[in-house]
Homo-oligomer: A and B are copies of this chain.
């Protein structure tokens, strides 16, 4: 009896995610997460073996906000621009609440004196819910699982 899934609305959420993240608009990016969200960046190897080690692990939006603040105040790293590309959005109903979304990501990276290159490739495994009270879609859970353990630069930006 469930209403059909509105894929276009889910697409719009991912478009906004990519836009805010790549343009450095972290306040609006944080707004795309539920308050008690789970956000992780983890290698495929660790994820497949159920190992807890993750490059980033935040268990609430407040933790994620802290992490972003830390990144922004650290100026040790070489300036770079990252761009996210998302494809193959697969949407299904979650067993609990909301929607399960799987998607492919590829992140391109440009440093000052080098040609652009691939930063990382992998898969999102997310759960998307409607926020109360405004009904906007947001991430209850967002796990970015990257395929290659070899990342050419220290991971600074979220995936």
Contact = CB atoms under 8 A, between A and B. Distances in A.
Number of copies of chain A assembled together: 3
Which of A11, A23, A115, A152 has the largest number of chain B CB atoms within 10 A? A115
Chain A residues touching B, range:
35 or more
Contact of A86 (B87, B102, B114, B149): B87
A117 interface: yes
Interface in A106-152: 106, 108-118, 120-123, 147-152
Interface string A18-57: 1100110000000000000000000010000000000000
Nearest to A151: B115
A85 B110 contact: no
22 contacts: A7-B11, A8-B8, A14-B88, A18-B87, A19-B90, A19-B102, A19-B104, A22-B123, A83-B88, A83-B121, A83-B122, A83-B147, A84-B87, A84-B104, A86-B87, A87-B87, A106-B106, A112-B148, A115-B118, A116-B147, A116-B148, A116-B150
Given A8-B8, A106-B108, A108-B118, 5 more contacts: A17-B88, A83-B88, A106-B106, A106-B116, A118-B118
